[in-house]
Amino acid sequence: MDFSLTEDRRMLSDSLSRFLADKYAMDHRGKVAYDAPFHDVALWGEMAELGVLYALAPEDAGGFGGAGFDVTTVFEALGRGLCPEPVLGALMASKLLAAAGADQAALLDGSRRYAVAIGELDAPYDLEGIETAVTDGKLAGRKSVVYGGNDADVFLIAARSGDRLAVYEVAASDAQVTGYGLIDGGGAAELFLDATPGTLLLDNAEAALTDALDAGRLALCAEAVGAMDATNEILLDYLRTRKQFGVAIGKFQALQHRAVDVVTEIEQARSITILAASRIGEADQSRAVSMAKTLVGRAARLVAEEAIQMHGGIAMTWEAAVSHYAKRLVMIDAQLGDVDFHLERVMAGYAA
Amino acid sequence: MDLSFTDEEIAFRDEVRAFLEENLPKDLSEKVRIGGELDKDDMDRWHAILNAKGWLASGWPVEFGGPGWSPVEKHIFEEEAARANAPRIVPFGLAMLGPVLQKFGSKDQQDEILPRILDGRDWWCQGYSEPGAGSDLASLKTRAVRDGDHYVINGQKTWTTLGQFANKIFCLVRTKTDGKPQEGISFILVDLDTPGIEMRPIKLIEGGYEVNEVFFTDVRVPVENLVGEENQGWTIAKFLLTHERTNIAGVGFSMKALEELKAQARRIKRGGKPLLDSPLFAARVADVEIELEAMKITNLRMLYRAQTQGQPGPETSILKIKGTVIRQTLNDLSRRALGPAAAPFPSEEMFGNAALGEPEDVYAAAKYFNNRKLSIFGGSNEIQRNILTKAMLEL
């Protein structure tokens, strides 16, 4: 039993955290996260130079990581820094490219940005409901809220091909892409496909899609843990310094006990994320990931709502950092399966 | 990051498992499984079996007759014991007084008392709480006044668990009335045969007898029964509060309870189908299972810290808060699964009468009510939040 990070991962975590603290401070984030292209193209390149994307792929795919704990190390730091860069798409695309045995050098060096388009308006989380279909190599359908899709070079698209699910690669220039910003920062797009030409990447892709989704879900859990830690620090600092009735509000037991509950939930979220990271590649991967996404989704919303409430009016302002963390923590649940979706996946295991 | 045990730890786990398989009496494990009440003979019997193996005092170092286990080995033993439905080890002598004497006791006290805890000649109980001093323990009023080479004790203790089986009691008493309340408390050992002591049972919410009131009227106790210095009692009490708390989450008990709950919800039918097929009920089970899975890792993280950095920190209060609520939730779901079948009072006639239901169902409601205590005793969950506020959040 060892709950410490390896030396390599600690160094990666430190350098990424330092980079984000230096270059992606809240005022800079405020300038780039809410205006097109909803991220910082130059910093994307610098982050790639740090080797962040290589950490997401295994050696045989050209990277130097790719394990569950590599993913959590990167995304915990991204969450702590509230980074709006489209790294999630790169992670999931890397998994799909690796499954296909395709070259991903341009993904790992950051020169080509990928977005993964799976969810649809009426099937945001599940593979079963996908209606986008491919006929004679042409795709038709609509992909909804494709994260990072507003500024992607390439889309990897899940589509029905006969009775199977396939993954097609589509150049952004070949599709109709309507980009927009997100309420919690960063960008996404609606993707309209109508006789859109694509290249087959994976036939019979259900297992590969599930792996990519599970990796993405694990990443989101870790991102939430990092963001919850940062939110908690902001909250505790506020409880120590904000005075009302002549004392710091952290002296009031009504708030103290709620602050303890916030910390308790964060520790539980950290634990279940560690568990999920350790199960990646094992038979119970999906079950562990769903348990994590359920607990983290619930904890993240609690931390966000409690942080807002205990801050009071100031947390209702755009200017306060806590409000941006809170938005991310609430909205992260709607990515790749919310609390109810993943709870049902856990329950499905009870069938005798 | 590595969540697995080492080869040595796995070998140890297998050894513990095999020992329990061979030596845990089936009548005891069945009683524990169904949640029945253990009597003194049951507990003494199990203690003696463990003591013969040298495994009774799981937290003691070798020099005092313990197995000298690491925090992880201790955890493995506790988890395996819970998994096998072994009776819980009565903590008052073994997990509480023992470590106190090892740290604060005189050589004489250690030599005389520790062996008697191990072989069961002494059964210790705890005299901490008073009617007016519960969560606010430092306001305790039971007085010990020096008179020559004795202290004379007057006052009342309460919530003394299993005092009806005990022949000794360790008490926090007031030896100074001026200054801060915490600075006038001493830790003293009292023979329950001493004239002037009366023990009265308290009937509990579910009808059982576990705790007692203890009355002290001019009870004369030799001064050598003091542990540590006079007025050092609060330091000792605080030591106990943070010592040996890695098992405080009760993860092993909860894992067992979850297993039983699922079996129960597969057996019980609603609308012609197993209750566990109901999405609403299954969702409640899944919720608590997820919390428990996280708790297991939280527990291991604290253990890892204890193993690598010495004592676990105040974070163990998190284990108490979350661990007790998980156990209570499992008990609650078990009671609710049964519906009206949980209502009959668990009597001798009920138990073992197949016509009246499965034996583990008989105690479901009683167990639920009894385990409401979990979030109250050992420092209520609100007191744990106060501890965390100061020690961890620094508010």
Pick the residue from chain A with its C-alpha nearest to B281: A347
Q: Are B199 and B299 in a shared domain?
A: no
Q: What angle do CA B117, B121, B125 make, to 5 degrees?
A: 60
Contact (CB, 8 A) for B101 and B110:
yes
Contacts of A202 (CB under 8 A, 6+ apart): A96, A99, A100, A166, A167, A208
- The mean pLDDT value for B357-377 works out to 89
CA distance B344 to B93: 36
Contact: A259, B393; criterion CB under 8 Å = yes
Q: Which helix (DSSP H) or strand (DSSP E) does residue A97 occupy?
A: helix A87-100
Q: How far is A15 from chain B (nearest CA, A)?
A: 19
Contact (CB, 8 A) for B57 and B66:
yes
CA distance B18 to B23: 9
Q: Is the CB of residue A267 less than 8 Å away from at least one CB of chain B?
A: yes
pLDDT at residue number B43: 96
Kindly state whether residue B101 falls inside one of the protein's structural domains. Answer: no
Task: At B34, list the tokens.
Answer: 């169904």
Closest Cα to residue B322, out of A40, A22, A261? A261
pLDDT tens, residue by residue, B122-157: 999 999 999 999 999 999 999 999 999 999 999 999
Amino acid residing at B277: D
Closest Cα to residue A202, out of A60, A101, A59? A101
How would DSSP label each residue in A189-214?
A: EEEEEEEEE-EEEESS-HHHHHHHHH
Q: Are B218 and B270 in a shared domain?
A: no
CA distance B54 to B118: 9
Q: Is the CB of residue B39 less than 8 Å away from at least one CB of chain A?
A: no
CA distance A143 to A157: 8
Q: Is the CB of residue A261 less than 8 Å away from at least one CB of chain B?
A: yes
Burial A41-66 (b: 16+ CB within 10 A, else e): eebbeebbeebbbbbbbeeebbbebb
Q: What is the CB neighbour count within 10 angstroms for residue A194? A: 11
CA distance B318 to B298: 9
Q: What is the pLDDT of chain B when averaged over all its residues? A: 93
| Global pTM value | 0.95
Q: Max alpha carbon distance in chain B (Å)?
A: 76
Pairing of strands B209-222, B273-274: unpaired
Contact (CB, 8 A) for B250 and B296:
no
CA distance A279 to A68: 8
CA distance B183 to B190: 21
Kindly state whether residue B263 falls inside one of the protein's structural domains. Answer: yes
Q: What is the CB neighbour count within 10 angstroms for residue B241? A: 18
- Cβ-Cβ contacts under 8 Å between A and B: the total is 127
Q: How far is A232 from chain B (nearest CA, A)?
A: 10
The minimal CB distance from B392 to the residues A6, A263, A288 is found for A263
Q: What is the CB neighbour count within 10 angstroms for residue A344? A: 17
Contact residues, chain A, for B5 at CB < 8 Å: 1
Kindly state whether residue B96 falls inside one of the protein's structural domains. Answer: no
Contact: B318, A263; criterion CB under 8 Å = yes
Contact (CB, 8 A) for A148 and A88:
yes
Kindly state whether residue B55 falls inside one of the protein's structural domains. Answer: yes
Task: At B160, list the tokens.
Answer: 């003394």
Kindly state whether residue B113 falls inside one of the protein's structural domains. Answer: no
Query: Hey, where are the domains in chain A?
Result: 7-108, 114-203, 207-348
DSSP-based three-state secondary structure for B29: helix
pLDDT tens, residue by residue, A282-295: 999 999 999 999 99
DSSP E strands in A205-259: the ranges are: 243-244, 247-248
Kindly state whether residue B104 falls inside one of the protein's structural domains. Answer: no
Q: What is the torsional sign of CA B68, B74, B80, B84?
A: positive
CA distance A91 to A107: 9
Closest Cα to residue A84, out of A120, A154, A15, A31? A31
pLDDT tens, residue by residue, B308-355: 887 777 788 999 999 999 999 999 999 999 999 999 888 776 666 666
Contact (CB, 8 A) for B114 and B101:
yes
Q: Is the CB of residue B259 less than 8 Å away from at least one CB of chain A?
A: no
Closest Cα to residue A79, out of A212, A232, A182? A232
Burial B173-198 (b: 16+ CB within 10 A, else e): bbbeeeeebeebbbbbbbebeeeebe
Contact (CB, 8 A) for B67 and B51:
no
Q: Are B251 and B373 in a shared domain?
A: yes
Q: What is the CB neighbour count within 10 angstroms for residue A319? A: 9
Look at residue B243 and tell me whether its pLDDT is greater than 80: no
Question: What is the number of domains present in chain B?
Answer: 3
- For position B266, which CATH number holds? 1.20.140.10
More confident residue, B18 or B307: B18
Look at residue B168 and tell me whether its pLDDT is greater than 90: yes
Q: Are B184 and B133 in a shared domain?
A: yes
CA distance A202 to A192: 21
Q: Are B220 and B350 in a shared domain?
A: no
Look at residue B245 and tell me whether its pLDDT is greater than 80: no
Kindly state whether residue B119 falls inside one of the protein's structural domains. Answer: no
Q: Is the CB of residue A4 less than 8 Å away from at least one CB of chain B?
A: yes
Look at residue B22 and tell me whether its pLDDT is greater than 90: yes
Q: Are B249 and B385 in a shared domain?
A: yes
CA distance B126 to B133: 14
Q: Are B351 and B279 in a shared domain?
A: yes
Q: Are B257 and B387 in a shared domain?
A: yes
Which parts of chain A register pLDDT below 70?
352
Q: What are phi and psi of A237, to 5 degrees?
A: -60, -40
Kindly state whether residue B97 falls inside one of the protein's structural domains. Answer: no
CA distance B48 to B23: 11
How would DSSP label each residue in B202-264?
A: EE-TTS-EEEEEEEEEEEEEEGGGEESSTT-HHHHHHHHHHTT-TTTT-HHHHHHHHHHHHHH
Contact (CB, 8 A) for A262 and A302:
yes
Q: Are B225 and B251 in a shared domain?
A: no
> Which ranges of chain B would DSSP assign to H, the alpha helix?
7-23, 26-34, 40-53, 71-83, 91, 98-104, 107-118, 233-242, 251-267, 279-309, 316-338, 359-362, 364-370, 381-391
CATH architecture of A207-348: Up-down Bundle (1.20)
Which structural domain range is residue B138 located in?
A: 124-230
Q: How far is B137 from chain A (nearest CA, A)?
A: 19
Task: At A63, list the tokens.
Answer: 């990277």
Q: What is the CB neighbour count within 10 angstroms for residue B60? A: 21
Q: Are B216 and B325 in a shared domain?
A: no
Q: Is the CB of residue A10 less than 8 Å away from at least one CB of chain B?
A: no
Q: What are phi and psi of A224, to 5 degrees?
A: -65, -40
CA distance A147 to B179: 64
Site of tokens 């997100």 = A182
- pLDDT > 70 fraction of chain B, expressed in percent and rounded: 96
Own/partner contacts of B47-50, CB < 8 Å, gap of 24 or more, are B47/B89, B47/B90, B47/B120, B48/B120, B49/B23, B49/B24, B49/B25, B50/B89
Closest Cα to residue B330, out of B265, B376, B270? B265
pLDDT at residue number B353: 66
pLDDT tens, residue by residue, A102-117: 999 999 999 999 999 9
- For position B199, which CATH number holds? 2.40.110.10
Contact: A259, B322; criterion CB under 8 Å = no
Q: Max alpha carbon distance in chain A (Å)?
A: 73
CA distance B183 to B144: 14
CA distance A211 to A221: 15
The minimal CB distance from A260 to the residues B2, B294, B393 is found for B393
Question: Mind telling me the catalytic residues of B?
Answer: 244
CA distance B57 to A287: 38
Q: Are B76 and B132 in a shared domain?
A: no
Look at residue B368 and tell me whether its pLDDT is greater than 90: yes
CA distance A334 to A183: 12
How would DSSP label each residue in B260-287?
A: HHHHHHHHSEETTEEGGGSHHHHHHHHH
- pLDDT > 70 fraction of chain A, expressed in percent and rounded: 100
Domain boundaries A7-108, corresponding CATH code: 1.10.540.10
Contact residues, chain A, for B322 at CB < 8 Å: 264, 268
Look at residue B36 and tell me whether its pLDDT is greater than 90: no
Q: Which CATH number fits domain A114-203: 3.40.50.1970, 2.40.110.10, 2.30.30.100, 1.25.10.10?
A: 2.40.110.10
pLDDT at residue number B244: 59
Distances A97 to A60, A116, A205, A264 between C-alpha atoms, Å: 12, 11, 11, 38
Contact (CB, 8 A) for B295 and A268:
yes
Q: Are B371 and B252 in a shared domain?
A: yes
